[in-house]
A and B are shown apart, each in its own frame.
Chain A
């Protein structure tokens, strides 16, 4: 159960995520060429404003995109009504945002 604004938010967040997903995949392939270790990842990401912004934006876009997608599923399969649906969308979105932000802060600060 979405209107034009949620539809737009989901499409725009998807558009933001497309280059970020490819960037993330490319970095994964590049990063593991000499083996994978936490120290190596942290040496690249800690103190980096670029990676902080890259993954910060990724987390925001993913939280918006996933919460709207799950909202549609919750309505169609669980028949959850409008008020509870808004609550659920907000909870899922903020949950993803908090979890993602914690991860980004942990590897960049």
Chain B
């Protein structure tokens, strides 16, 4: 039995969903029963289950943890499972449809599903891998939660790899080599991890032609991050540390 919030109202929502492939695509219009409490992912799921079974999209946890359901909603990158229709339609003039598109700055596979491989390759290129300094037979290093480095790492560590920041970034649009906010944010958390031994390797990795210095500090990443992280701040930290390392000729 449907709860009060799940009962459809008398109204229908006009939805325009981008459908296509890597080469071309167009918006298709759908009418979806409006509920009192409804997320963007609910809308997409309704279309796929009741109107267009071939609609392709990606989701998993539905609770804002897995980072797989991000899409462009009314032109803005958002996590669709935690974005309610009411919020997405705020500021949109009456009569205009709810538009849903695949994430910007990533190649489309089909409909709303993007190819994320380039996004994750950049994490590897930014040396986003942990370089252990101890073996499993050694005692675990004690890290003080009050240390400045740990606090800096904690501020940036809750990234769910949803690529919302990557889709929001104009530097990514302009420069295909640019590693992007998520990969650089990851690099910053490892720079501040006292247990990590790959500092200079990582500082070199984020100092190349697609490195942190290509960020224009426009802060769209911080503006749109669903977990309210501040990748611009992380990138600024990387610029500072790479500058120091370059002046000391360590990189």
Contact = CB atoms under 8 A, between A and B. Distances in A.
B213 A3 contact: yes
Interface string B155-192: 00000000000000001001101000000000000000
A76 B209 contact: no
Contacts of B174: 75-77
Contacts of A8: 243, 246-247
A4 B241 CA distance: 11
Contacts of B208: 3
B239 interface: yes
A87 interface: no
A7 B175 contact: no
The 6 A-B pairs of least Cβ separation, nearest first, read A76-B174, A7-B213, A4-B207, A4-B246, A1-B209, A4-B242
Overall SS of chain A's interface: helix
A42 interface: no
B153 to A, nearest CB: 22
Contacts of A11: 243
A5 B246 contact: yes
Interface residues of B, number: 17
A25 interface: no
Nearest to B246: A4
Interface of A: 1-8, 11, 72, 75-77, 82
A1 B214 contact: yes
A77 B175 CA distance: 9
A76 B170 CA distance: 9
A4 B239 CA distance: 8
Interface string B198-215: 000000000111110110
Nearest to B209: A1
B213 A4 contact: yes
Most buried by B among A4, A11, A76: A4
B243 A76 contact: no
A79 to B, nearest CB: 9
A92 B239 CA distance: 26
